[in-house]
Amino acid sequence: MPCLFCKIVAKELSSTIVYEDDKFLAIKDIFPKAPLHLLLIPKKHIISVNYLEPADKDLVGDLILLAKLIAKEQGTAESGYRLSFNIGKDSGQTIDHLHLHLMGKGQLPLS
């Protein structure tokens, strides 16, 4: 059974998409922890950072550069933003599909 993010990528479930290209999708987090809280999702299903292969290094680099672009487009690049990967259940990862949190537009708690 496909994961939640795979269903969103396949347009089987709706979500608020703020960016899409052939490799990535960026959506609004439905439980935001900041005024701006987006999830940047590779379309390729990878469970987490622990499952990355050497062949995925360009994908991860492109994901970070995409975060930089979206932060600028969303108006938070200058004031600051946070990028975060949760890896595994104990870190708070609730969906087994690699995704990068982009949070900004306000003072973020240190944690």
pLDDT in tens, 55-106: 999 999 999 999 999 999 999 999 999 999 999 998 988 999 999 999 998 8
Count of alpha carbons within 13 angstroms of residue 37, beta-carbon side: 11
Strands 24-28 and 36-42: antiparallel
User: What is the pLDDT confidence band of residue 7, given thresholds at 50, 70 and 90?
Assistant: very high
Asked if 104 and 74 touch (Cβ cutoff 8 Å), the reply is: yes
Domains of the chain: 4-104 (3.30.428.10)
How far, in Å, CA of 104 to CA of 111, rounded? Answer: 14
Told to judge if 45 belongs to the known catalytic residues of this protein, a careful annotator would answer no
How far, in Å, CA of 48 to CA of 66, rounded? Answer: 18
Which two tokens mark 74?
């969303």
Q: What are phi and psi of 42, to 5 degrees?
A: -65, 140
- Per annotation, catalytic residue among 37, 97, 99, 101: 99
**Chain segment 10-64, per-residue pLDDT in tens:** 999 999 999 999 999 999 999 999 999 999 999 999 999 999 999 999 999 999 9
pLDDT of residue 11: 94
User: What is the pLDDT confidence band of residue 108, given thresholds at 50, 70 and 90?
Assistant: low
